[in-house]
């Protein structure tokens, strides 16, 4: 190990300080900006919020390394006039280059492994008795039908709390994207195809379905209400609805 120069020590200290401050900021961001993230109404959304926070915490030391080093140079050696002397002719440093490569590779592999471990949460159903909802996107409205309940159809989505849901999503015209921000669910609605998304809503409340793929004139208005309610109220509601076709 080469001995650390005073400049190096100063940068290291400030890097540590700013990193700690930055991470503290991440932990308190919901106090400074309430409502930054939509209400997490499913375990999936909660896990996404955690991942967002985790990545931000990991990003802080990386960003600070670049910024603190740059700031140190700017503060200590800045000049408006053309420098009269050149800097030292350093062409590289094998140790620094290898260490940088090693650490960034490790971080990268870590992120990939983490992401792979969470893939089943996105692409497979939650265990349990599935409520199947057929979701149809069209320009510019969603319709939801319940094949388990006589195929009743509605323009609002009502779900019983705590029951796993399988959305079978399609479109009758262009590509839309079925997105419930509060539940962290998103999948495209493709013409002449059925795609699937899975979630278990575990918080009663009123949320929104958004179209997340530009689909023409009224894309901005392509949203529908979502209500997560008790199983009894859900059954009550579903029996008041009428089927799509008589």
Which 96-115 positions form the footprint of another protein (CB under 8 A)? Answer: 96-97, 100-101, 104-105, 107-108, 111-112, 114-115
Which 44-83 positions form the footprint of another protein (CB under 8 A)? Answer: 45, 47-48, 51-52, 55, 59, 62-63, 65-67, 69-70, 73-74, 77-83
Closest approach, Cβ 213 to Cu ion, in A, equals: 6
Which 58-87 positions form the footprint of Cu ion (CB under 5 A)? Answer: none
Tell me: does residue 201 bind another protein (CB under 8 A).
Answer: no
131 versus 135: smaller Cβ distance to another protein: 135
Q: Which residues of 152-182 are buried (b: 16+ CB within 10 A; e: fewer)?
A: bbbeebbbbbebebebbbbbeebebbbbbbb
Which residues are registered as beta bridge partners of 208?
225
Q: What is the dihedral of CA 158, 146, 176, 116, to 10 degrees?
A: 80
Q: Beta-carbon neighbour count of residue 232 at 10 Å?
A: 9
Distance CA(238)–CA(227), nearest Å, equals 12
Distance CA(46)–CA(54), nearest Å, equals 12
Tell me: does residue 84 bind another protein (CB under 8 A).
Answer: yes
Half-sphere exposure of 197 (CA within 13 A, CB side): 19
Tell me: does residue 32 bind another protein (CB under 8 A).
Answer: no
Q: Tell me the window of 20-28, 125-133, 178-186, 228-236 that interacts with another protein (CB under 8 A).
A: 178-186
129 versus 245: smaller Cβ distance to another protein: 245
Which 185-244 positions form the footprint of Cu ion (CB under 5 A)? Answer: 211, 215, 222
From Cu ion, another protein, none, which one binds at residue 7 (CB under 5 to 8 Å depending on kind)?
A: another protein
């Amino acid at each position: 190990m080469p001995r650390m120069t005073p400049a190096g020590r100063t940068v290291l200290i400030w890097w540590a300080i700013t990193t700690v401050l930055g991470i503290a900021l991440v932990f308190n961001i919901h106090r400074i900006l309430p409502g930054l993230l939509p209400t997490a109404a499913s375990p999936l959304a909660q896990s996404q919020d955690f991942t967002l926070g985790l990545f931000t915490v990991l990003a802080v030391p990386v960003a600070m390394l670049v910024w603190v080093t740059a700031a140190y140079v700017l503060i200590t050696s800045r000049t408006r006039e053309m420098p009269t002397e050149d800097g030292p002719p350093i062409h590289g440093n094998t140790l620094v280059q290898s260490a940088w490569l090693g650490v960034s590779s490790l971080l990268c592999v870590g992120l990939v492994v983490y992401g792979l471990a969470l893939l089943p949460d996105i692409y497979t159903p939650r265990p349990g008795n599935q409520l199947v909802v057929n979701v149809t996107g069209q320009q510019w409205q969603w319709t939801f039908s319940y094949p388990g309940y006589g195929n009743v159809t509605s323009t609002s989505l009502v779900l019983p709390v705590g029951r796993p849901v399988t959305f079978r999503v399609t479109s009758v015209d262009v590509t839309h994207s079925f997105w419930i921000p509060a539940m962290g669910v998103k999948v495209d609605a493709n013409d002449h195809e059925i795609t699937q998304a899975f979630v278990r809503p575990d918080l009663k409340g009123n949320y929104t379905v958004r179209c997340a793929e530009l689909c023409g004139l009224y894309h901005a208005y392509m949203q529908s209400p979502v209500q997560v309610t008790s199983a009894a109220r859900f059954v009550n509601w579903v029996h008041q609805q009428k089927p799509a076709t008589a």
